[in-house]
């Protein structure tokens, strides 16, 4: 059957036709058309028996609570480490240095006494620098409330941040190639310009921004925003799709 | 002021940081967003998760809305895509833990079909449809959204959504017929 005949039959089943003459003639003249009408009618009758899918008040409250909780974590301001925290680290480091110096200068120990005053001063200076640097790095270990996120060594700030699994990028790239709306609205003009600059900064000059995606929200409320960009020209099955970290303007990956 | 405000104004106020405006948008659309997600996913917990993610995306992307469609249409498009994403992730998890998942799917199937407000056989048949057909039927036949708006929500031409609705109904009827034998 042709599309317009199916549409006519569906309209008859829905009861939405202004004039049912043509549709009725069709189903009376064709077994196939009659079967189509019965199938459409049967499905519509079954679906009409559905109860309204309403949220309970408990579910509604839970939804509101969870949304606002997640938004609250996103908008929580980052509070710097109080100055006295940094001072305390430096003070502790100096105490260690003083103690070390006193031990090294203890009379009667030939090895330690072999250190010249210059060498001792250099050692002290290095220790102090390391301690103050440690204090600076340790700032990043504290959250907005000033609570330490965990003991141990200062984080390696040059290490690669945790990225979503490969499937995330593969799936999003496929959506771009299929022209599916991964980002329901295109970027506003101002945002588009910012994103283009960021992509350019990442070393992908000429790439065209097609939107942004946000990775899954982590339990701690963080999520990573990626700018999605493609080379100039049309998009087809073989188009490479680049994902640029929006906050760093660095390429996370290019899906080929 | 907020209760009667046009939705485009509300969204602009959301961009400006007006939480009351976002609360009003949620109030106006949370019911239908949940209903759509529940019909597509067949599970209340998953539908609530999808609804939550939907509104978080609305909040984060409000500044990118260009008014090419109604705000509601945009929101429901986000909802459908969010459901698709969650279904895709669930399939990946299932593929990663196949033996355990096969046990779980049998145990949870009955619970799922009872939670969406449909007769179990109808719910089962609906969930067995390809997700594109299922989404089209949920929007057009169950939520009463016009075919042109359904096409806009799904991001496909009108002819495509008509085809999905009609073929989806046919498949639904076939599966209901097979279940009754």
B81-129 residue pLDDT tens? 999 999 888 888 777 765 544 444 444 444 454 555 667 788 889 999 9
Lowest mean pLDDT among A15-29, A100-114, A239-253: A100-114
- Whether the per-residue pLDDT at A169 is higher than 80: the answer is yes
Does position A67 have pLDDT exceeding 50, yes or no?
yes
Distance of CA A133 to the CA centre of its chain: 30
Residue A43 or A136, more confident? A43
Asked if B174's CB is within 8 angstroms of A39's CB, the reply is yes
Average of per-residue pLDDT across B154-174: 95
Q: How far away is chain B from the Cα of A143, in angstroms, using its nearest Cα?
A: 23
Nearest to B63 among A74, A180, A191 (CB): A191
**What is the arithmetic mean of pLDDT over A200-225?**
73
Out of A52-61, A140-149, A163-172, A202-211, least confident range? A140-149
The per-residue pLDDT for B8 is 92
pLDDT level of residue A194 (50, 70, 90 thresholds): confident
Name the band, by pLDDT with cuts 50, 70 and 90, for residue A223: low
Q: Which of B77, B165, B176 sits opposite A46 (nearest CB)?
A: B176
Torsion sign (Cα): A151, A155, A160, A163: positive
Q: Is the pLDDT of residue A146 over 60?
A: no
Instruction: Average the pLDDT over A20-29 and give the result.
Output: 94
DSSP chain A: --HHHHHHHHHHHHT--S--HHHHHHHHH-HHHHHHHHHHHHHHHHHHTPPP-PPPHHHHHHHHHHHHHHHHHHHPPPPPPPHHHHHHHHHHHHHHHHHHHHHHT-TT-HHHHTS-HHHHHHHHHHHHHHHHHHHHHHHTTB-TTS-BS-SSSPP-TTSPPPPPPHHHHHHHHHHHHTT--SSSSPPPHHHHHHHHHHHHHTT-TTPEEEEEEEPPPPTTS---EEEEEE-SS---TT--EEEEETTTTEEEEEE-
Q: What is the rounded average pLDDT of the residues B12-25?
A: 93
Residue B21's pLDDT is what? Answer: 94
How far does B9 lie from chain A, in Å, by closest CA?
Answer: 16
* Mean local confidence (pLDDT), B25-52: 95
Average pLDDT of the residues in A3-29: 94
A36 close to A63: Cβ distance less than 8 angstroms: no
Mean pLDDT of chain B: 86
Query: Is the sign of the CA dihedral A206, A208, A214, A215 positive or negative?
Result: negative
Put simply, whether A149 touches B (Cβ < 8 Å) is no
**Closest Cα of chain A to B154: distance in Å?**
9
Mean residue pLDDT of chain A comes to 73
Using the predicted structure, report yes or no on whether residue A120 has a pLDDT greater than 60: no
pLDDT of residue A33: 95
- At A177, is the pLDDT very low, low, confident or very high (cuts 50, 70, 90)? confident
Q: Check if A62 contacts B (Cβ < 8 Å).
A: yes
Contact A10, A17 (CB under 8 A): no
Residue A15 has pLDDT above 90, yes or no: yes
What mean pLDDT do residues A177-187 have?
53
- With beta carbons under 8 A apart, name residues in chain B contacting A38: 173
Look at residue A145 in the predicted model and tell me its pLDDT.
47
Sheet holding A241-245, edge to edge: A208-214, A225-230, A241-245, A250-255
Task: Kindly identify which residue of chain B lies nearest to residue A191, measuring between CA atoms.
Answer: B64
* Residue A52 scores a pLDDT above 70: yes
A35 at B interface, C-beta within 8 A: no
The answer, yes or no, to whether residue B77 has pLDDT greater than 60, is: yes
The pTM (predicted TM-score) of the whole model is: 0.57
pLDDT of residue A162: 60
CA end-to-end span of chain A, whole Å? Answer: 41
Q: Band of the pLDDT at A99, cuts 50, 70, 90?
A: confident
Chain A / chain B CB contacts < 8 angstroms = 129
DSSP letters, B113-169, are HHHTTS-HHHHHHHHHS-HHHHHHHIIIIIS---HHHHHHHHTS-HHHHHHHHHHHH
Share of chain A above pLDDT 90, in %: 26
Any residues with CB less than 8 A from the CB of A60 and at least 6 apart, and which?
Answer: B30
Mutation target for B interface from A12, A34, A37, A63: give the one with most B CBs within 10 A.
A63
* Whether A70 and B174 lie within 8 Å, measured CB to CB: no
The more confidently predicted of residues A120 and A40 is A40
| Position A47 pLDDT exceeds 70 | yes
Q: How confident is the model at residue A173 (pLDDT cuts 50, 70, 90)?
A: confident
Distances from the Cα of A144 to the Cα of A28, A40, A77, A214, angstroms = 74, 58, 7, 23
The predicted pLDDT at position A68 comes to: 92
pLDDT band at A63 (very low <50, low <70, confident <90, very high): very high
Query: Residue A235: what pLDDT?
Result: 81
Facing residue for A47 by CB, picked from B34, B38, B142: B142
CB A255 within 8 A of CB A169: yes
What pLDDT is recorded for position A8?
94
Residues of A in contact with B51 (CB under 8 A): 63
Look at residue B59 and tell me whether its pLDDT is greater than 90.
yes
Q: Which chain A residues are within 8 Å of B163, Cβ to Cβ?
A: 3
Helix (H) or strand (E) holding B99: helix B98-115
Residue A218 has pLDDT above 80, yes or no: no
A40/B166 CB distance under 8 A: yes
Per-residue pLDDT at A129 exceeds 70: no
Would you call A10 and B169 a contact, using CB atoms and an 8 Å cutoff? Answer: yes
């Amino acid at each position: 059957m042709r599309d317009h005949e199916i549409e006519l039959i569906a309209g008859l089943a829905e009861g939405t036709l202004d004039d049912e003459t043509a549709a009725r003639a069709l189903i009376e003249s064709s077994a196939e058309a009659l079967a189509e009408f019965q199938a459409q009618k049967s499905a519509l009758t079954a679906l009409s028996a559905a109860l309204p899918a309403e949220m309970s008040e408990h579910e509604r409250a839970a939804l509101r609570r969870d949304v606002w909780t997640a938004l609250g974590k996103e908008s929580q301001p980052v509070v710097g480490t109080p100055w006295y925290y940094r001072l305390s680290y430096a003070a502790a480091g100096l105490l260690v240095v003083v103690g070390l110096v006193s031990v090294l200068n203890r009379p009667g120990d030939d090895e330690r006494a072999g250190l010249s005053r210059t060498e001792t001063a250099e050692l002290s200076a290095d220790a102090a620098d390391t301690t103050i640097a440690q204090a600076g790095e340790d700032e990043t270990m504290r959250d907005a409330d000033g609570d330490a996120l965990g003991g141990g060594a200062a984080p390696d700030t040059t290490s690669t941040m945790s990225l979503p699994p490969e499937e995330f990028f593969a799936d999003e790239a496929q959506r771009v190639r299929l022209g599916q709306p991964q980002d329901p609205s295109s970027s506003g003009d101002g945002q588009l310009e910012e994103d283009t600059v960021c992509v350019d900064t990442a070393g992908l000059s000429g790439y065209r921004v097609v939107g942004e995606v946000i990775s899954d929200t982590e339990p701690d409320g963080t999520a990573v925003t990626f700018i999605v960009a493609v080379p100039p020209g049309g998009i087809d099955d073989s188009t490479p799709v680049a994902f640029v970290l929006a906050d760093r303007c660095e390429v996370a990956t290019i899906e080929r | 002021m907020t209760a009667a405000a046009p939705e485009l104004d509300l969204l602009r106020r959301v961009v400006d940081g007006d939480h009351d405006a976002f609360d009003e948008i949620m109030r106006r659309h949370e019911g239908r967003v949940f209903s759509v997600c529940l019909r597509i996913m067949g599970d209340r917990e998953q539908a609530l998760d999808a609804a939550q993610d939907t509104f978080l995306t609305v909040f984060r992307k409000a500044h990118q809305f260009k008014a090419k469609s109604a705000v509601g249409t945009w929101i429901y498009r986000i909802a459908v895509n969010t459901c698709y994403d969650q279904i895709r992730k669930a399939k990946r998890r299932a593929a990663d833990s196949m033996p355990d998942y096969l046990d779980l799917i049998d145990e949870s199937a009955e619970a799922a079909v009872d939670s969406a407000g449909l007769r179990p056989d109808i719910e089962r048949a609906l969930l067995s449809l390809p997700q594109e057909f299922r989404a089209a039927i949920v929007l057009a036949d169950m939520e009463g959204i016009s075919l042109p708006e359904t096409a806009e929500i799904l991001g496909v031409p009108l002819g495509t959504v008509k085809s999905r609705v009609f073929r989806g109904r046919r498949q639904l009827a076939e599966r209901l017929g097979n279940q009754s034998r």
